[in-house]
Amino acid sequence: MENSNDLFKNNPENSMNLTLEQKKNKQLAEHLFPEELPNIESVFERYPKRELPKDAMVTRIAPSPTGFMHIGGIYMALISERFARQTNGVYYLRIEDTDKKREIEGARKIITESLHKFGLDPDEGENINGVERGIYGPYKQSERKGIYKSFIKHLIEIGRAYPCFCNEEELEVMRKMQEELKVRPGYYGVWAKYRDANEKKVEEMLKQNKPYAVRFKSLGNNTNTFIHNDIIKGPLELPENDLDVVIMKSGGLPTYHLAHAVDDYFMGTTHVLRGDEWVSSIPLHYELFKALDFKCPEYGHIAPINKIDESGGKRKLSKRKDPEANVSFYEENGYPEIAVVEYLMNLANSDFEDWRKSNPDKPLTEFQLSFKRLSTSAGPLFDKIKLHDITKEIIAKMRAEELYKKVLDWSLKYDPEFREILEKDSEYWIKVFSIERGGSKPRKDIAMWSEVKEAFSFFIKEKFIRPDWSNFTSILSPDEIKNIINQYNEVFSFDDLTEKWMEKIKQISAIFGFAPDTKTFKKNRDSYRGHVGEIAQIIRFAITGRIQTPDLYQIMQVLGEPECKKRLALK
């Protein structure tokens, strides 16, 4: 630190109108920030007010590049994106990378790619190609250090911030004392050691090059309360802030609080939608905005996605314990992103489900998300069954070609062997996926791409193994079953249309004493051993090795004559 000797000397250049106190603050600020910084007027000029329609919302997501993308982050991005787009506003991405200890290489890419996959590319900020768009940048906090410092310096100049030389150990001792005395923890009031530190002492510490953080000087009184109108949680009565929180860490980087105020103000955020762990920081943020003379944005605090855990209790979806917390889980398992987004919309606004029922074919962007319907405190519950209902519904509506393409894409990374099989005969597989697809009641049995291979495995001709009949329960003896398959094989003709195909199975049923349909069977139970369904089941099992499949006639048509004959031929 240079010039510390002169630190508190009166400088004749200073304006005559300044009080002694003001002069000292100014000198301290100059001393702590000798480098050239953007002057604050130029910052105001650099970030003009956004010209947008009156009710347009400017929202953002502000993840830290920690290498982990939580599904809750996508949930919040979706909510932020929807409100901005619904109001013809702007939704942008800001990378909050001031905590260098937590930063992971490649983490920004994980963020931008995840947003892209879920259709949530921002209007401004870094995009999937690593390129920044927008005039309110840089959108990476580590590139905004100068701007933060200008405002930290300004707060020192106006007497609303000061250096604090407490090290970790001292703060720990203080915390323990507070615990023993059973008083509120934190750096406030009498506990704020450097708040009114003697100038000589400060000078001394600076001379010794002692590391320091810069703290905000709060003027609040913790026994007073005020009402914060949260756009999601409604009115909340909160105590005023009285904590002198750190706004600049000893390395020169700002803390979240300061960066949030500066960035959201200059980037023109109208609505800060963020996790509800930040509610307790509201009093501080109000005070900080006021001290900086910035207009406060609206705040909406979003309750986290919860789950019922093993013990039956409710808890937040946890990064460590729950695989479904990580966005990569959805990719690995092959959930169509659009279906996950639909599911998240359900979690956000419960009336989305009714809207979807009345508007089955509309894009979800036509649904109007509302703040009132967002969970206030409890937080929505993650429910895999519901997620699967939605993904099945969406996959059922896809055309066979689309499904083929999606499974092909997914299998490239997650099941190369299946991809090879699919690629070998695209026409065949599209026919496979066409079974019971289209029409008003498509089959809804696939929830994710990783289920496709197993669901359709009996179509993989080279891998088909003869079914194990010991798994088949029937009132018919093994000899009778063999006999049925033999007789069917003789009459089976690939060119038969459905009716004829069915007729032949009925004929065999009659030979073995089974009714031609369930109705006849129910009327005359004593005259029959069972009904045609049981005979068809035998053929189904011979052809597919399963007792439950989509339409058997269609399956046989897709498999083709030689394959059907082969499967019906007994060794």
Structure tokens at 81: 């994106």
| 8 Å CB contact between 126 and 140 | yes
Instruction: Name the minimum Å distance from CB 69 to ligand GLU.
Output: 11
Q: Tell me the window of 40-48, 61-69, 298-306, 310-318 that interacts with ligand GLU (CB under 6 A).
A: 61-69
Instruction: Name the minimum Å distance from CB 134 to ligand GLU.
Output: 17
- List 74, 84, 96, 555, residue binding ligand GLU (CB under 6 A): 96
Rounded Cα distance between 485 and 389, Å, is: 37
How far, in whole angstroms, is CA 284 from its chain's centroid? Answer: 28
Instruction: Name the minimum Å distance from CB 255 to ligand GLU.
Output: 11
Q: Which is nearer to ligand GLU, 62 or 340 (CB)?
A: 62
Instruction: Name the minimum Å distance from CB 275 to ligand GLU.
Output: 6
Count other C-beta atoms under 10 Å from residue 497's C-beta.
9
Supply the Cα-derived Rg of the chain in whole angstroms: 34
- List 27, 59, 64, 255, residue binding ligand GLU (CB under 6 A): 64
Q: Tell me the window of 145-153, 242-250, 271-279, 468-476 that interacts with ligand GLU (CB under 6 A).
A: 271-279
Structure tokens at 500: 């004829």
Instruction: Name the minimum Å distance from CB 96 to ligand GLU.
Output: 4
Q: Which is nearer to ligand GLU, 99 or 383 (CB)?
A: 99
Q: Tell me the window of 32-40, 112-120, 272-280, 393-401 that interacts with ligand GLU (CB under 6 A).
A: 272-280
Using rule CB under 6 A, residue 274 touches ligand GLU: yes
Sheet architecture: strand order including 246-248: 161-164, 213-216, 246-248
Using rule CB under 6 A, residue 67 touches ligand GLU: no
Q: Which is nearer to ligand GLU, 63 or 380 (CB)?
A: 63
Rounded Cα distance between 354 and 341, Å, is: 16
Instruction: Name the minimum Å distance from CB 80 to ligand GLU.
Output: 9
Q: Which is nearer to ligand GLU, 58 or 272 (CB)?
A: 272
Using rule CB under 6 A, residue 285 touches ligand GLU: no
Q: What is the DSSP string of 370-404?
A: -STTS-SSS-PBP-HHHHHHHHHHHHHHS-HHHHH
| Closest residue by beta carbon to ligand GLU | 274
Rounded Cα distance between 225 and 283, Å, is: 9
Instruction: Name the minimum Å distance from CB 299 to ligand GLU.
Output: 9
Instruction: Name the minimum Å distance from CB 156 to ligand GLU.
Output: 24
Using rule CB under 6 A, residue 263 touches ligand GLU: no
Using rule CB under 6 A, residue 275 touches ligand GLU: yes
Backbone angles phi, psi at 96, to 5 degrees: -95, 85
Q: Tell me the window of 118-126, 160-168, 269-277, 422-430 that interacts with ligand GLU (CB under 6 A).
A: 269-277
Q: Which is nearer to ligand GLU, 260 or 540 (CB)?
A: 260
Sign of CA dihedral 118, 119, 121, 127: positive
- List 31, 149, 215, 260, residue binding ligand GLU (CB under 6 A): 260
| 8 Å CB contact between 58 and 90 | yes
Count other C-beta atoms under 10 Å from residue 269's C-beta.
25
Rounded Cα distance between 458 and 161, Å, is: 72
Structure tokens at 140: 């990476």
Q: Tell me the window of 62-70, 380-388, 443-451, 509-517 that interacts with ligand GLU (CB under 6 A).
A: 62-70
Q: In this structure, are strands 271-275 and 298-302 parallel, antiparallel, or unpaired?
A: parallel
- List 29, 57, 62, 161, residue binding ligand GLU (CB under 6 A): 62
Cis peptide leading into residue 63 (ω within 30°)? no
Instruction: Name the minimum Å distance from CB 196 to ligand GLU.
Output: 31
Determine the size of the site formed for ligand GLU (CB under 6 A): 8
Integer CA distances (angstroms), 452 to 215, 302, 449, 523, 550, in order: 57, 36, 5, 40, 13
Q: Tell me the window of 12-20, 60-68, 179-187, 344-352 that interacts with ligand GLU (CB under 6 A).
A: 60-68
Instruction: Name the minimum Å distance from CB 241 to ligand GLU.
Output: 17
Q: How close are the terminal C-alpha atoms of the chain, in Å?
A: 92
Q: Which is nearer to ligand GLU, 62 or 232 (CB)?
A: 62
Binding mask 475-514 for ligand GLU (x = CB under 6 A): ----------------------------------------
Rounded Cα distance between 103 and 111, Å, is: 12
Backbone angles phi, psi at 231, to 5 degrees: -70, -15
Q: Is 129 helix (H, G, I), strand (E, B) or coil?
A: coil
Using rule CB under 6 A, residue 63 touches ligand GLU: yes
Q: Is 360 helix (H, G, I), strand (E, B) or coil?
A: coil
> Which residues contact residue 128 at a Cβ distance below 8 angstroms, ignoring those fewer than 6 apart?
112, 113, 115, 116, 121
Q: Which is nearer to ligand GLU, 281 or 450 (CB)?
A: 281
Give the binding site for ligand GLU (CB under 6 A). Answer: 62-64, 96, 260, 272, 274-275
